[in-house]
Amino acid sequence: MISEAMTPLPFRALPYDDGGAGLPYPSKIIAVHLNFESRAAERGRRPEQPSYFLKPVSSLASSGGVVERPAGTELLGFEGEIALVIKETTRRATPEQAWSRVAGVTAANDLGVYDLRYADKGSNLRSKGGDGFTPIGPALIPADRIDPGRLRLRTWVNGEPVQEDDTGALIFDFARLVADLSQLITLEAGDLILTGTPAGASVIMPGDRVEVEVDAPSGPTTGRLLTTVSAGEVPLAGYGAGPKVDDATRADAWGNGAGRAQALRQAQGAPGNEAQGAEGPLTEEVRAALGRVGTATLSSQLRKRGLDNVSIDGVVALRSGERLLGIARTLRMVPLREDLFKSHGGGYNAQKRAVDTLNPGDVLVIEARGEPGTGTIGDILALRAKVRGAAGVVTDGGVRDHDAVAELGLPVYCAGAHPAVLGRRHVPWDVDQTIACGGTTVQPGDVIIGDADGVLVIPPGLVAEVAADAVEQERQETFIAEQVAAGEPVDGLYPMNEAWREKYRQWRP
């Protein structure tokens, strides 16, 4: 008679379509801690060697499933990832051999509850090992159909893109991970290796829908891996570690927008001006040039380049004579809906996260849909922005505590003053996404400049040449103004004909 302990395990269907490869159910799931350059920039650290943790196979789920945020917790995080599926028993594979031991790749979502991360001292067992915390699928892309160095990973939350990166930006390539792990651990057919998440991972709420997709350029795709979040009803009992959060944990969970903006600042500054380097588009030379010209001149230079809708309209400085220059960080407000304000308006919300992660030289640009009927920032958060070294704030909504904010000396441009708080008109929604402010589009990494004439948005790749040409334009206008003051007529002088241009060349210092 066969004992209960000897009874074979029941067959378990794979949570993804393996395309007829006949792969077995995995014996283990191994996840990499940090492996995308963008995520390393966001976290402020870059590992010298890969490091890993295990997730139980009971955490696997398929596309279309529902994951429960445990009752009493608030910080369920998503991380879109590429999962490698091992093809055959692998031990001590070299990096040259390793890719041949991979059956293919699929999409994965490395879900975790930050409220419990403290409890297991880095093992992540309870924080990332819960049932349904590793959805994968829906389909496998065979390894022989792709170049592992040219895969794209994308994540959406409620239809909005939140992550996009490619495997050319990995710190440790797939072959290295397989070779490294197989030095000490026998990898078996069907085993999964989650290869790390790019920048943009954040927190999801009950009712949110998360989608992850992996594809190759003009090639195969995994399809979108869909997971919906539900609210748990059974609280964790007192005989185990309970949820524990603080502001530092919340900032970590929601994501370091400052790190992401720095990565964007460097990435967006490169096209057309590769010499900018880590300093970004606002080099000392560019800053000096922009300090000598007004937004009116810059506006005409941008128009010459086909950019006519680059002003943030309807905003004025709190203090007369204010000037503003910095790199954009963004915050989006959506129209008030009471149920959404209940879930997104309190606690460490998007507004507080945006202010708390500002870096020196950042300008916080707030999309408030031109609605001035409530404040979008007040004295406490403005003070926090100043302490963080921010260059200023621009909002097409209202400002609370007008006089107190003005006295801080932080450049602030707004649509007016209003005493009410956010909940009257707005829900703070997300940070460091492309937004609309004052009738124009603003992206993290754009250059923001303001003076008495208004506020402009300058694409970072154009700012150096625009600044140089604006300096030259103002030099010419100084010459023209001197001639007009001396009694010369403007015909032929403004704009200058060739005769006046020759006189200008002789006058030019």
380 assigned binding-site residue: yes
109 and 210 Cβ atoms separated by less than 8 Å: yes
**Three-state SS for 161?**
strand
Q: How do strand 316-317 and strand 412-414 relate by DSSP bridges? A: antiparallel
Residue 49 and residue 30: Cα distance in Å, rounded? 16
Query: Which element (helix H / strand E) includes 329?
Result: strand 324-335
Residue 122 and residue 117: Cα distance in Å, rounded? 7
Residue with tokens 């490869």: 21
Whose CA is closest to 163, among 126, 136, 199? Answer: 199
Give the DSSP letter of residue 230.
E
Residue 215 and residue 146: Cα distance in Å, rounded? 9
Residue 470 and residue 477: Cα distance in Å, rounded? 10
Backbone angles phi, psi at 410, to 5 degrees: -85, 125
Bridge partners of 446, per DSSP, are none
Residue 376 and residue 322: Cα distance in Å, rounded? 20
Whose CA is closest to 360, among 319, 404, 392? Answer: 392
401 assigned binding-site residue: yes
400 assigned binding-site residue: yes
The DSSP line for 88-151 is: S-BSS--HHHHGGGEEEEEEEE--EEGGGGGGGTT--HHHH-STT-EEEEEEEEEGGGS-TTS-
Whose CA is closest to 138, among 77, 78, 70, 214? Answer: 214
347's CB contacts (< 8 A; 6+ apart) are 74, 250
Q: Which amino acid is at 292?
A: R
Query: What's the per-residue H, E or C state across 423-439?
Result: HHCEEEEEECCCEEECC
378 assigned binding-site residue: yes
Residue 341 and residue 349: Cα distance in Å, rounded? 10
What residues are designated binding site?
378-381, 400-401
What residues are designated binding site for substrate?
378-381, 400
